Structure formats: C-alpha cells, structure tokens
Amino acid sequence: MTKLSVNVNKIATLRNARGGNVPNVLKVALDCERFGAQGITVHPRPDERHIRYADVYDLKANVTTEFNIEGNPIPQFIKLVKEVCPTQVTLVPDAPDALTSNAGWDCINNHQFLTEVAEEFHQKGIRVSVFVGTDLDNIRAAATLGIDRIELYTEPYAANYAKDREAAIAPFVEAAKLAHSLGLEINAGHDLNTDNLAYFHQNIPFLAEVSIGHALISDALYWGLEQTVKRYRDCLV
C-alpha cells in the first residue's frame, strides 16, 4: 500500500501571513491524520517563512503517524532533525531562497557529503530518503550512499502528463525499477494532484509513499479537508 503524507507547509504560510495562530498548523496536521493521512511532512527553511522550527517540535510531540522532515542538510537543519528524531528525513538540495524544490541531488558529485549525513541520521534511528531525478546513473550512485529510500522529483511528470502521459511516466518507471533492484525503497513528490496521481500510482512499481502539499491544501479550499484527503487516498488504491 502506498502511503499518503500530507505536507502542511501551506497551512503555515497562511498563518504567517496574518500572524497569530490561525490556521493552527498542529490542528490541521492532526485532522489530516484523523481523515486518513498516513503521514505528515514539513519542509522548514532557514528563514522560517512557512514552517517554523518550533512547529517541528510541536508536531513531533503530537503526530501519531509517520513524521517526515524535508530540507537541505545545513548544520541548523541537521541539528533540528537529530533532536526531533522523525520517522524519516528527506534530503533536498534547495537553496535558502528557493521558492520550492526544483531539482534532485547530484549523488555522484555529492557522494561523500550525503553518505556522511545519512550516517549521522542513521545513528539516531531515522530513515533517510534522498530527493532525486530519473537519471539512472545518478540512481546507481544513490544506492551506494547507505540510504533507505529515494524520493522521485515528479514535476517533469506532472508538467508533461496532459500532453502525453505514457511518455511522461516512462522515465519514472525505469527509475523505480532500477532503484528497487538496487535495494532502495521509493517515495515520490512534487506537483502530484488528483488529475495525475492515480496514473502515477498504477504505473510506478514499489511506490512506498507520496508527499503532497500545495495541490492538496489548495483542493481543500473547494472540497474541504476531510473530502480532499479521502480523494487523494482513493487515488492510491
């Protein structure tokens, strides 16, 4: 079964726009769990423009499903993750001023760094996933990092889905098959939504988890949070 992890960054963005604690990030996360989400994801950035470091500690103390923290493993992030000890950490190579994640790791040129970071997190019992594209040589390199999972960066799939979904999915199928053969579990995320998620799930073998935030929270404005979580879960049946 492929798990749905809901990224609650956008709830924090809305809260921070006004100040105060409305909407309440923790309440929304717990409601997502209550409505069927099997995980909660956050992506704190150094400027805390959406998820704040304090949010991460609050969520860890209350989330009962899998807790996934994404981010660039700068020292501040590494310290946070080691203190919180989530179920999973997802390493993402985004610059501090990046609007959103827009590329995967070059696992060949960052091999030593990623290997050392993964070992630090493993010493705390944290599952390690690395954000990557579909280049097969890069995935072969990822398999030598000592990590547990890769997360496939799915923006190229989403961007090309409407034009030719078979062509859009093809490199992801090959990447997933190779990763599985090398002993890696597979996550996916970025621009997945109710239009393209079911087809992705049907065609990607061994898909352990999808992490979805922007589209899901946006859809909740129309459908309500409970119905939205249900619709995304239905795409993963």
**Could you list the active site residues?**
43, 70, 190
Closest CA to 66 of 124, 122, 12, 5: 5
For 176, residues 6+ apart whose C-beta sits below 8 A from its C-beta are 152, 186, 204, 205, 206, 207
Helix, strand, or coil here: 208?
Answer: strand
Closest CA to 236 of 193, 206, 202: 202
Peptide bond into 23 cis (omega under 30): yes
Separation in Å, CA 80 to CA 16, 64, 72, 94, 190: 21, 19, 12, 17, 23
Sign of CA dihedral 209, 176, 154, 56: positive
d(CA 120, CA 160): 37
Contact 23, 14 (CB under 8 A): yes
Please give the structure tokens belonging to residue 190: 């970025």
The continuous run of DSSP H or E covering 68 comes out as strand 66-71
